[in-house]
Amino acid sequence: MAEQTIDRRVIADCQQGDRDAFRLLFEAYKDKVFSLAVYSFGGDKSAADDVTQQIFLKLFSAIGQFRGESEFTTWLYRLVVNACTDERRRRKRLLPLGETLVMSDVSGRKPQEKQFARLEISEAVQAAIGELKPKFRLPILLKYIEGLSYEEIATVLNCSKGTVASRLNRGHSQLAKRLSYLKNQTALGD
Amino acid sequence: MFFHHVTKDFSAYVHGELSSEESRRFAEHIISCQRCRSKFEEIKLGIKFAEQLPRLTAPDHLWEEIENLRARQSVPVTQIVAPRRFISNWKPQLAGIAAVLLMAIGVGILWSYRTRPSTPVGPSWRVARLGGTPKIGSAGISNGGQLGVGQWLETDSTSKAEISVASIGQVQIDPNTRVRLVETQPTEHRLELARGKMSARIWAPPRLFFVDTPSAVAADLGCAYTLEVDDSGASLLRVTFGWVALELKDRESMVPSGAACQTRPGIGPGTPYFEDVSAAFRDALAQFDFGSDPATRKAALDQLLEEPAEARNTLTLWHLLSRVDGNERVRVYEKLASLWPPPKGVSREGILNLDQEMLERWKDNLAAGWAQRPLAPASLLDPLSRVKRFVRQMKHKIAD
């Protein structure tokens, strides 16, 4: 469903508790929210499932607080980023080994060429994204999955545009280094 | 400019987040700063990888589960049950008027589509008419139009157009020319020139703008140039500022300002030459590059090596090193070394074995003599000029 169908009227209807409007909102953003969640949890789709549900539940109960002072998407992504961060912290507290196990499954093997050797490019990129620190991963996800501008990313992450630019540089650089062995693959070649 | 590296702006430049003035400064710096250029290539690669990141599809059961959770949490929901108004509620005469109006709008839209180029979906480049009636697809443009990915822009014998290449430059399309927008992305902009002539002025960092021709790909390295393709698919590149690389498979020609290079289908780029070389030199080079008879090619090479000592011939000779074998390579090396001795760290043996690092180092050293103005052979430079050149090089090294 196109994102353009979400206008002020739909949001106003959501604030009035209109179920159809909620469904419209859900359909417009579910893939984006789910993608962000999957990449935030290192590819764990089950965890992403749970957190996506929580995000939409929270969205539906908190949408009354949206005053239209900022863009709705910015407000939504702030909610998503906060929910993912909280959930990661919660899981770290409750299952201190859980996340480490997921990450070590990917990063424990050396060299990196072997790590992703059998994966397709997009899978390799997903795995490499999962290895980035959250502060470098989130700007990349907001840029490439959500298509936000630097200013919007800065608002969502509550930092300056310069910080966004700097973190994207670091993220891109780390991706290039981790995946340099794929440089000559035809899909990426000049 | 060398003291203000642009490392913090790499991603912002590619994402179009810099102002036009900042973009211009960025491009100017990166063309002249090897360190930033190399780092920028790494960032561009990272961006290309990030662009491969797919958006995932949420599972179908998600909405149902959310509904269940909402029911359990008793989130108050006021279902709006106000009846929607549908056509079935309209009075028949109102429906009739609406149908007529819809038909009229449909006819209007159809007429509009037949007389105007359709607006492309997705990214596109602005096209300005400079004369006559250039066409995008089958529709003529009166003042301006948008060239979408996959669309052809064609000029006849009386028309000309100018394309704005995203935010990185402009391309003038001469009469009787046919070009197609192949791709436009932050990390790559690509045109196809099927026939005719175009003039490009690009102020982007190297390797962002490419032109495909039937016999080679022109990769912009920060420059201005004209590219002409004839009906056989052969092309002629003439560079007026900066550098252009012509490529086909493993064959590459680096063409600096003031130089030209021809290409042929099935062969690729020939050997570049400065435009002020003699006609005999140019003819011999064409025979060597594109001749099919080995004896004729050998005679052409002999003629090239017998040409009077000119520092500017070093552009051609350097390229010939990797295009000849055995004794011929030795002869080309001797001639080149007599015009411009290899710099420190570049050995005769390394060059004869085509050591890429040494070839590049010699080329970078030679490039000082490939400036627009004619230079005297290195051996004839007076001591003062040598000192001046040395000081200039040291200044650049220190600054970089």
Q: What are A86-102's pLDDT values in tens digits?
A: 887 877 766 544 444 34
Contact: A144, B51; criterion CB under 8 Å: yes
Within a domain: B387: no
Average pLDDT for chain A = 80
Decide if B203 is inside a domain: no
- The larger pLDDT score, comparing residue B91 to residue A117, is at B91
Number of folded domains that form chain B: 2
B395 confidence band (pLDDT: 50, 70, 90): low
Over residues B171-208, the pLDDT tens digits come to 999 999 999 999 888 778 999 999 999 999 987 777 88
Reported confidence tier of residue B160, pLDDT bands at 50, 70, 90: very high
A62: chain B residues, CB-CB within 8 Å: none
Half-sphere exposure of A132 (CA within 13 A, CB side): 31
CA B256 to chain centre: 14
**Residues of chain A numbered 52-91 and touching chain B (CB < 8 Å):** 52-53, 56-57, 60-61
pLDDT band at B88 (very low <50, low <70, confident <90, very high): very low
Task: Tell me what pLDDT residue B323 has.
Answer: 93
pLDDT of residue B155: 95
* Residue A103, pLDDT score: 36
> Is ipTM beyond 0.85?
no
DSSP E strands in A55-164: the ranges are none
Q: Rounded distance, CA B311 to CA B204, Å?
A: 30
Tokens representing A51? 């957190």
Protein fold of A111-184: Arc Repressor Mutant, subunit A (1.10.10)
Predicted pLDDT of residue A154:
94
Rounded to the nearest angstrom, the gap between the alpha carbon of residue A182 and the centroid of all alpha carbons in its chain is 24
- Residue B83, domain member (yes or no): yes
Report field, pTM of the whole predicted structure over 0.90: no
| Residues B74 and B107 both lie in one domain | yes
Q: Are residues B40 and B72 in the same domain?
A: no
* Exposed / middle / buried, residue B62 (Cβ in 10 Å: 0-12, 13-18, 19+): middle
* pLDDT confidence bin for B74, thresholds 50/70/90: low
Which band of pLDDT confidence, cut at 50, 70 and 90, is reported for residue B336? very high
For B59, the closest of A49, A122, A180 (CB atoms) is: A49
pLDDT digits (tens, 9 = 90+) for A129-143: 988 998 999 999 999
**pLDDT band at residue B24, thresholds of 50, 70 and 90?**
confident
Quick check: is B16 in a domain?
Answer: yes
Q: Which residues of A touch B17 (CB under 8 A)?
A: 149-150, 161, 165
Question: What three-state secondary structure class fits B111?
Answer: helix
- Domain hosting B33: range is 7-51
Mean pLDDT over each residue of chain B, to the nearest integer: 82
Q: Is residue B269 part of a domain?
A: no
Q: What was the pLDDT predicted at B228?
A: 96
CATH 1.10.1740.10 fits A2-91, yes or no: yes
Structural contact between residues A128 and A175, judged by C-beta atoms closer than 8 angstroms: yes
pLDDT at residue B2 is higher than 50: no
Q: Is the pLDDT of residue B33 over 90?
A: no
When pLDDT is averaged across residues B225-236 and rounded to a whole number, the result is: 95
Asked if the C-beta of A173 comes within 8 angstroms of chain B's C-beta atoms, the answer is yes
Are residue B80 and residue B45 in the same domain, yes or no? Answer: no
Indicate where chain A has its CATH 1.10.1740.10 domain(s): 2-91
B64 and chain A: CB distance < 8 Å anywhere?
A: no
Residue A153 has pLDDT above 90, yes or no: yes
Q: Tell me, yes or no, if B98 comes closer than 8 A to chain A by beta carbon.
A: no
Angle between helices A98-107 and A121-131 (to 10 degrees): 130
